Amino acid sequence: GAGVSQTPSNKVTEKGKYVELRCDPISGHTALYWYRQSLGQGPEFLIYFQGTGAADDSGLPNDRFFAVRPEGSVSTLKIQRTERGDSAVYLCASSLVLAGGPGELFFGEGSRLTVL
């Protein structure tokens, strides 16, 4: 596709359930990022992939959060035993990789997660 695609756009789940959020980046973008945004705040970094590997997962809040990118394209963010505090918009972005720092980031529309 032309842009970054995220599914689902909205997800309502019950506390304790397992959730998967999917991101399809721009074709050819090696770098893929997951961010989380709460209402009225800027996005907060969760994890960065370069190719298939998680190059930086320092933003994952705890071991209930996990992300994969098995073929270096589509990525899935997985949240186990969801808690009400996990409610937020989960944003995916992709970019080209630059030697010294981040390239221009292109974001998807986000997946809004609500944990009841």
Partner 1 sequence: KQEVTQIPAALSVPEGENLVLNCSFTDSAIYNLQWFRQDPGKGLTSLLLIQSSQREQTSGRLNASLDKSSGRSTLYIAASQPGDSATYLCAVPPIRGAQKLVFGQGTRLTINP
In the complex with partner 1, the residue whose CB is nearer, 56 or 83, is 56
In the complex with partner 1, the residue whose CB is nearer, 1 or 14, is 1
Least CB distance from residue 81 to partner 1, whole Å? 26
CA 108/CA 113 separation, integer angstroms: 15
DSSP-derived 3-state class of residue 30: coil
Q: Is 89:112 a contact under the CB 8 Å cutoff?
A: yes
Q: Is 103:93 a contact under the CB 8 Å cutoff?
A: no
In the complex with partner 1, the residue whose CB is nearer, 14 or 40, is 40
Least CB distance from residue 22 to partner 1, whole Å? 15
Q: Residue 24's closest CA among 56, 65, 57, 72? A: 72
Q: Residue 54's closest CA among 73, 69, 44? A: 69
**What is the binding site for partner 1 (CB under 8 A)?**
4, 6, 31, 33, 40-45, 48, 50, 55-56, 59, 91, 93, 97-98, 100-110
In the complex with partner 1, the residue whose CB is nearer, 80 or 114, is 114
Least CB distance from residue 102 to partner 1, whole Å? 5
